[in-house]
């Protein structure tokens, strides 16, 4: 069990009133996005409203050069919000930031009242994590050095410390059940002042 602190090391995560958070941690090439693609429809079918915050390690652009929103953002609109009846997108330039600010991103998501927020990336942040691990990728198991890993989903049987749950990466139904149960485990952990 991990103690909950109002402010933690890699920034300030305020646990009070925070929707359930679960990091999805893995090395590049392990299949995090593919796993999320498989999990999200199952979680939605179970009645969960799930938000995803994804960290990108490089410059990216979701806007198309030449489109009005791109031109207005390039002209200096901060933020640039574009909306239709089908969707809303907001682009904010963040020059000078060394890294994406997870508390700021969580603050943007919280008003939408998700039942669960899955955080892909942000592996150095102190939040509970499900590690996706494939030995074939040739990288070390993060659970050995990250005390915030609460479970490991792998495509092979592993020898893990007893406090870590091992999940079968190939059993998507069992994985989705485990993730769907996370909000209840989160609430129980907060009530006892220990992270599940």
8 Å CB contact between 73 and 91: yes
Each residue's pLDDT tens digit, 102-149:
888 898 899 999 999 999 988 888 899 999 999 999 999 999 899 999
Residues found in the chain: 196
- Residue ranges, comma separated, of all CATH 3.40.50.300 domains in the chain are 17-55+100-195
Each residue's pLDDT tens digit, 19-78:
999 999 999 899 998 999 999 999 999 999 999 998 876 666 677 788 888 888 888 788
Categorize the per-residue pLDDT at 195 as very low, low, confident or very high, splitting at 50, 70 and 90: low
Residue 137, classed as helix, strand or coil, is helix
Question: Which among 146, 167, 155, 179 is positioned nearest to 52, based on CA atoms?
Answer: 179
| Cα dihedral across residues 141, 34, 109, 101: positive or negative | positive
Query: What is the Cα–Cα distance from 33 to 139, expressed in whole angstroms?
Result: 18
Per-residue pLDDT, 58:
63
Per-residue pLDDT, 57:
64
Over 70: is that where the pLDDT of 190 sits?
no
Question: 79: cis peptide before it, omega within 30°?
Answer: yes
Query: What is the Cα–Cα distance from 192 to 35, expressed in whole angstroms?
Result: 31
One CATH from 3.30.70.600, 3.50.50.60, 3.40.1390.10, 3.40.50.300 for 17-55+100-195: 3.40.50.300
Categorize the per-residue pLDDT at 90 as very low, low, confident or very high, splitting at 50, 70 and 90: confident
- First CA to last CA distance, the chain: 6
Q: Is 118 exposed, middle or buried (0-12, 13-18, 19+ CB in 10 A)?
A: buried
Beta bridge partners of 149: 129
Per-residue pLDDT, 78:
81
Per-residue pLDDT, 59:
61
Per-residue pLDDT, 11:
52
Residue found under tokens 């092979």? 156
Query: What is the separation of C-alpha 49 from the centre of its chain, rounded to a whole number of angstroms?
Result: 14
For 177-192, what is the mean pLDDT?
85
Tokens of 86: 């089908």
Query: What is the Cα–Cα distance from 33 to 121, expressed in whole angstroms?
Result: 10
Each residue's pLDDT tens digit, 4-15:
333 333 455 777
pTM, to two decimals: 0.84
Region at 140 (left for phi over 0; alpha for psi -120 to 50; beta for the rest): beta
Output 194 or 46, whichever has higher pLDDT. Answer: 46
Categorize the per-residue pLDDT at 3 as very low, low, confident or very high, splitting at 50, 70 and 90: very low
8 Å CB contact between 149 and 25: yes
């Amino acid at each position: 069990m991990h103690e909950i602190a109002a402010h933690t090391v890699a920034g300030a995560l305020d646990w009070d009133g925070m929707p359930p958070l679960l990091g999805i941690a893995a090395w590049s090439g392990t299949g995090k996005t593919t796993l999320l693609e498989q999990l999200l429809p199952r979680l939605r079918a179970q009645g969960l409203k799930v938000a995803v915050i994804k960290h990108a390690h490089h410059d990216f652009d979701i806007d198309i050069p030449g489109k009005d929103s791109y031109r207005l953002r390039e002209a200096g609109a901060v933020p640039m919000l574009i909306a239709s009846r089908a969707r809303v997108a907001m682009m904010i330039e963040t020059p000078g930031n060394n890294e994406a600010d997870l508390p700021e991103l969580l603050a943007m998501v919280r008003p939408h009242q998700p039942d669960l927020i899955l955080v892909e990336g942000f592996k150095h942040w102190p939040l509970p994590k499900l590690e996706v691990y494939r030995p074939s990728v040739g990288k070390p198991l993060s659970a050995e050095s990250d005390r915030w890993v609460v479970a490991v989903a792998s495509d092979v049987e592993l020898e893990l410390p007893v406090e870590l749950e091992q999940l079968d990466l190939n059993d998507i139904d069992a994985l989705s059940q485990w993730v769907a149960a996370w909000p209840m485990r989160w609430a129980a952990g907060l009530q006892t002042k220990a992270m599940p």
